[in-house]
Amino acid sequence: MATATKKNSKIRLQPLGERIVIQREESEQMTAGGIVLPDSAQEKPARGTVVAVGNGKLLDDGTRAACQLKPNEKVLFSSYAGENIEVDGVEYLLMREDDVLAVIE
């Protein structure tokens, strides 16, 4: 179980249960042809880095299944997955572990 913290920050972000915190990768500022894209035209990437993980999914028998993801892993997720949250000016996504589609190695 990991906690998301930022240096010089008083806020700690600890996901509960099967939830994880992801920091989304920056979107492309320029096209391959060299055209600079304004913020409104940039697509939010469906890739990011796991920052913190919860303690796992609660199973029917009352035990917890360990989270399959670890902090600092690069992942792909559904573009509509998760809730956007902002902590000290940094944007994070809070989502269920099931919303992650793949780990990028």
pLDDT digits (tens, 9 = 90+) for 42-54: 566 788 999 999 9
Q: Rounded distance, CA 38 to CA 102, Å?
A: 29
Q: Does residue 9 contact residue 87 with C-beta atoms inside 8 Å? A: yes
**Residue 75 pLDDT > 90:** yes
* Domains of the chain: residue spans and CATH: 45-104 (2.30.33.40)
User: Length of the chain, please?
Assistant: 105
For the cut 70, the answer to whether the pLDDT of residue 28 exceeds it is no
- Neighbouring CB atoms inside 10 A of 18's CB total 20
Burial 43-80 (b: 16+ CB within 10 A, else e): eeeeebebbbbbbbbeeeeeeeeebebeeebebebeee
